[in-house]
Amino acid sequence: MKLICGLGNPGREYERHRHNIGFMVVDALLSRARAELTQDKFQARVGQGSLGGERILFVEPQTFMNLSGRSVAEAARFYKVDVQDVLVIHDELDLPFGRLQLKAGGGAGGHNGLKSMVTCLGADAFIRVRVGIGKPEGPNAKERVSGYVLSNFDDGEKRQLEELISRAADMTESWVRDGLSTAMNRHNRKA
């Protein structure tokens, strides 16, 4: 079994924010896996399905971003999923909008959801699908990060969002089916 987690914040008011791209990708994967998030446990919405012949536990933490690791660690322990079989889909400020990167391990890079994952899982060896959302530019850019990630995509981004979500879902499905190295070689080279 593999665990696929999308990061985001619960509630309608956050639904289409940049910070919730992880939830959006998991929602796309659910339809591919013919699955639904039917259970509320581990402080998360949880469902099971199958991708590429592999059993998948889908998790959308409902703890808010900064405490996401609690839900994922609890679910991983309960289902005995190894850290390297956990994949986390998250927004990434350090990649331009539309760019994707699949990677194993690494730091949190200031992302509080990832910090929580590393702390609660006790390791940083989980797999990540980094979905580029870009970042604010210009003076006081650092002070505007919080408002930026908690805002909706602009009109130009919205026109590309469905395709971006589909590509991130393809990348995730490739990891399940083909393994990390093959999926990285296939998907990380594409601009």
Among candidate residues 17, 19, 111, 187, the one labeled active-site is 19
Residue 112 labelled as part of a binding site: yes
CA distance 71 to 37: 14
Active site residue 90: no
Residues in the chain: 191
CA distance 32 to 166: 10
User: Where would I find the beta strands (DSSP E) of the chain?
Assistant: 2-6, 39-41, 44-51, 54-61, 86-92, 100-104, 127-132
Residue 79 labelled as part of a binding site: no
How many helices (H) does the chain have, and how many strands (E)? 6, 7
Binding-site residues from annotation = 14, 64, 66, 112
Please give the positions annotated as active site: 19
Binding-site residues from annotation for tRNA = 14, 64, 66, 112
